[in-house]
Amino acid sequence: MSDTPPDPVLREYAELAQDYDRRWAFYVSATLRETLECVQFEGVASVLDVACGTGAVLAALQRQHPYLNLVGVDASAEMLSVARAKLGSAVDLRHAFAEQLPFPDGVFDLVVSANSFHYFQQPDRALSEMFRVLRPGGQLVITDWCDDYWTCRACSVWLRWTRHSHHRLYRSRECRDLLTSAGFQQVALRRFKVNWLWGLMTVIGHKPPFGPS
Ligand SMILES: C[S@@+](CC[C@H](N)C(=O)[O-])C[C@H]1O[C@@H](n2cnc3c(N)ncnc32)[C@H](O)[C@@H]1O
């Protein structure tokens, strides 16, 4: 990629990367806690974090479950370089887009993605990639802003005006439907607030144990 990324998401995170952990510390630790609470770790050996950013989720997993095989992808080289310094060589970090994951079918037990879904230009394609790389019976856990909360709706309108990187937020019902359309089953969703402004949701889905891979 060139020195000045043309993609607004890449431009935003190239500028923010070095300061991201400090600036978003409260928000990231609150959403991380909620996300990991929704994961069933039994039978999980390999984890992919999609849009892993500076690696907050992966670092927590590395601490709490050192036996896991951890992999992360992110579109921003700058965010990945902060993650690399934090996580060391034990975690496999790849420079890639959620919409085109560089892995064979069915290799992960768990796919997580935190605070990033609203950036994805092709959410259905990203979900179908997450589905593809999960093994049959594998789990998907996504946390992101939720458009059910009026504060988030207001924020989304403001971000659409001010930042080209912002794609869109989803209502909880839309989010469930997106997962179901991608083939996920037993879809469950939990909403939560981390403060007066940020209202989020964690959605969990399972790839059917048999059937299309
Ligand atoms: C708000 S940060 C979240 C990072 C991390 N998951 C966390 O919770 O701290 C959003 C991240 O999404 C990444 N991103 C946005 N669109 C992406 C895409 N289509 N594919 C991969 N990464 C993407 C950005 O580069 C950025 O690192």
Any atom of ligand 1 within 6 Å of the Cβ of 28 = yes
109: Cβ–Cβ under 8 A, 6 or more apart, which residues?
43, 44, 45, 46, 47, 134, 135, 138, 139
Closest CA to 106 of 140, 130, 80: 130
Please, which pLDDT band fits residue 178 given cuts at 50, 70 and 90? very high
> Residue 212's pLDDT is what?
54
Nearest CA to ligand 1 atom 20: 97
With beta carbons less than 8 A apart as the criterion, state whether 75 and 10 touch.
Answer: yes
Centre of ligand 1 to C-alpha 116, Å, is 5
CA atoms of 122 and 111, how far apart (whole Å): 17
**Given strand 134-145, what is the order of strands in its sheet?**
92-95, 69-74, 46-50, 108-114, 134-145, 199-206, 185-193
Which token pair is 130? 């997450």
Residue among 119, 166, 168, 200 to mutate when testing ligand 1 (max atoms within 8 A of CB)? 119
Please, which pLDDT band fits residue 5 given cuts at 50, 70 and 90? low
Q: What is the DSSP letter of 170?
A: B
> Residue 45's pLDDT is what?
98
Domains defined for the chain, CATH in brackets: 8-206 (3.40.50.150)
Please, which pLDDT band fits residue 37 given cuts at 50, 70 and 90? very high
> Residue 213's pLDDT is what?
52
pTM equals 0.95
